[in-house]
Amino acid sequence: GQQVMQIPQYQHVQEGEDFTTYCNSSTTLSNIQWYKQRPGGHPVFLIQLVKSGEVKKQKRLTFQFGEAKKNSSLHITATQTTDVGTYFCATDSWGKLQFGAGTQVVVTP
Amino acid sequence: GAVVSQHPSWVICKSGTSVKIECRSLDFQATTMFWYRQFPKQSLMLMATSNEGSKATYEQGVEKDKFLINHASLTLSTLTVTSAHPEDSSFYICSLYLQGSLQTQYFGPGTRLLVL
């Protein structure tokens, strides 16, 4: 099946700074989804990208899908303490989600 | 969006006992639901696909006789961990699949299982 590699595994960010997490695949993806999981919680859907080169924004979050549909990124600007959690990318194949390893984000005030 | 509930949220049991976890779709018919497992500090791994009215399909490496799935109605799927052992301790999460919608997956709040 399709595998998505996600980096970095950990991200320590000072409040107010920006950071980016990346997902890469060796094969072309039909879609990429992003989730946020707070400590102790369940994954919460953020967005789905399906088009080559697609860029979507949600307030301080910017999601991109690469032109070749083999990579994706999530960029967060002006990080806040509420951004703490683990961010996962995932690809959906007929409902089955294959998750990346996740980027655990720690925010220091 | 869809609302999915899970019960119980926490369960502690002795080794050798069986534990049943319920996953309910509260406002959508759920012909297909999925069960995931997440070990501490790890990602989510798909265990099985739960199909209403038919047998579940399991991912490679998941023992179907150990993780029994029943999906007898359009709103309820259950996962039973039979003869649980400490290595089965994990976070079990179900999801509702809504094909064709902008958001295709709705996760339940999860069940933390600790086997002593």
Cα angle, residue B104 at apex, residues B101 and B109 outer, rounded to 5°: 135
* Cβ <8 Å between B93 and A45: no
Q: What is residue B101's predicted lDDT score, i.e. its pLDDT?
A: 77
Percentage of chain B beyond pLDDT 90 is 80
Task: Using the predicted structure, report yes or no on whether residue B1 has a pLDDT greater than 90.
Answer: no
Cα–Cα dist A62/B15, whole Å: 46
Q: What is residue B23's predicted lDDT score, i.e. its pLDDT?
A: 96
* Cβ <8 Å between A42 and B109: yes
Span A39-75, pLDDT tens digits: 999 999 999 999 999 999 999 999 999 999 999 999 9
* Cβ <8 Å between B95 and A101: no
Burial A6-27 (b: 16+ CB within 10 A, else e): beeeebebeeeeebebbbbbee
Span B22-57, pLDDT tens digits: 999 998 888 899 999 999 999 999 999 999 888 999
pLDDT band at A2 (very low <50, low <70, confident <90, very high): low
Chosen for mutation from B43, B91, B93, B96 (greatest number of chain A CBs closer than 10 Å) is: B43
Q: Are strands B111-115 and B10-13 parallel, antiparallel or unpaired?
A: parallel
Tokens of B115: 């086997």
* Cβ <8 Å between B105 and A92: yes
Percentage of chain B beyond pLDDT 70 is 100
Residue of A nearest to B34 (CA): A96
